[in-house]
Amino acid sequence: MGELGVETGHLIALMKIKLYNKKREVMVAYLKEGENIKLLTIHPLKEGQKENRINSGRWRRCDERF
């Protein structure tokens, strides 16, 4: 399951990775175009940023998988 950017309609994937010697949550915004996946942006999230976007309604859960 992933997230959907409500304002843009872009799909969002989240993952925790080691970045700059710390465990950080990273988001990837992407589009699914037929059989293809187009990456739009990748960046680390600030503390609480994921929760804020979900709670504000900017991101919502979706069943999209690739």
What are the pLDDT digits (tens) for 8-52? 778 888 999 998 899 999 999 998 888 999 999 999 999 899 889
Higher pLDDT, 66 or 57: 57
**Residue 15 falls inside a structural domain:** yes
**Structure confidence at residue 1 as a pLDDT band (50, 70, 90):** very low
Check if the beta carbon of residue 9 is closer than 8 Å to that of residue 64: no
At residue 26, the pLDDT reads 93
Question: Quick check: is 62 in a domain?
Answer: no
Establish if 33 belongs to a structural domain: yes
Residue 60 in domain: no
pLDDT band of 59, cuts 50, 70, 90: confident
CA–CA gap between residue 28 and residue 14 (Å, rounded): 6
Instruction: Quote the pLDDT of residue 2.
Output: 62
> Rounded to two decimals, what is the model's pTM?
0.74
Task: Flag whether 65 is in a domain.
Answer: no
Domain that holds residue 12: 2-52
The number of folded domains in the chain is: 1
